[in-house]
Amino acid sequence: MKNKITLHIIVALLVGINGFAAETNQQNGGKAMDKKTSLGAEISLMTPVWVIGSYDKDGKPNMMTAAWVGICCSKPPCVTVSLRKATYTYHNIMERKAFTVNIPSKNYIKEADYFGTVSGKEVDKLAATGLTPIKGDHVDAPYIKEFPVSVECKLVNTLELGLHTMFIGEIMDVKADKTMGDNKEALNMLIFDPKQRNYYGLGENLGKAFSIGKEITNSQTNRIK
């Protein structure tokens, strides 16, 4: 019984010391207690999954999945899509000066992955998937009828970056399923984790942008008053 009490006291002291050390580190704010570890110059940021539509020189429609993508300007509305020169789509876009961005829903995750794993040089990917290419209204590129959202883009710039060439496309039109109002179609997006090579769906609505942070703005205003 006495031994047990002694042990408890020792444990309590040790916990206390550790707790104090941790607290000191917290307050210190310096490098030593930073819990981050350096991973080096790697790409580990999650990124959207876009399926890029293009025609080859003979008019054969092709789809390729890309994840080195993003929005890059509001006026004119533009997107970036970076591709390696080795891809079939690279040459198609250079030739036709146009591409589409197609957003696969969860239902088309297999097709989206397939589009990213084989080359249009060797296969008719659209025939293989049974998906329907439709010629864009505004640009010389096909979009996928079955996907919930498609964006028609005109090539406005290219930039050599290294392994990848960046294409900048101006958005000419967005096409969305009529059945999905209020941008619910966008909720179908897939997200790619380049490090673990997994696809994720979109999660819960966490709050309104340009609004949820006002609590901090207001608390600051009150403090100044």
Residues numbered 170-209 forming contacts with its own copies, rule: CB under 8 A: 170-179, 182-183, 186-187, 189-209
Pair 90, 165: CB distance under 8 Å: yes
x/- track of binding to its own copies for residues 86-125 (CB under 8 A): ---------------x-x--x--xxxxxxxxxx----x--
Cβ atoms of 140 and 95 closer than 8 Å: no
Dihedral sign of CA atoms 38, 66, 155, 143 in order: negative
Residue number with CB closer to its own copies (10 or 22): 22
Question: How many Cβ atoms from other residues are within 10 Å of residue 9's Cβ?
Answer: 10
The least CB distance from residue 157 to its own copies, in Å, is 7
Q: How far is the CB of 139 from its own copies (least distance, A)?
A: 11
Q: Which of the 8 DSSP states describes residue 115?
A: H
Binding mask 20-39 for its own copies (x = CB under 8 A): ---------x-x--xxxxxx
Residues β-bridged to residue 65 = 51
When binding is defined by CB under 8 A, the residue of 6, 73, 86, 119 that contacts its own copies is: 73
Instruction: List the interface residues with its own copies, window 137-156 (CB under 8 A).
Output: 137, 145, 149-151
Quick one: 78 or 92, whose CB is closer to its own copies? Answer: 78
Which of 1, 5, 40, 58 touches its own copies by CB under 8 A?
Answer: 40
- The closest alpha carbon to 121, from 144, 93, 89, belongs to 89
Closest by CA to 173, choosing from 131, 142, 135, 139, is 139
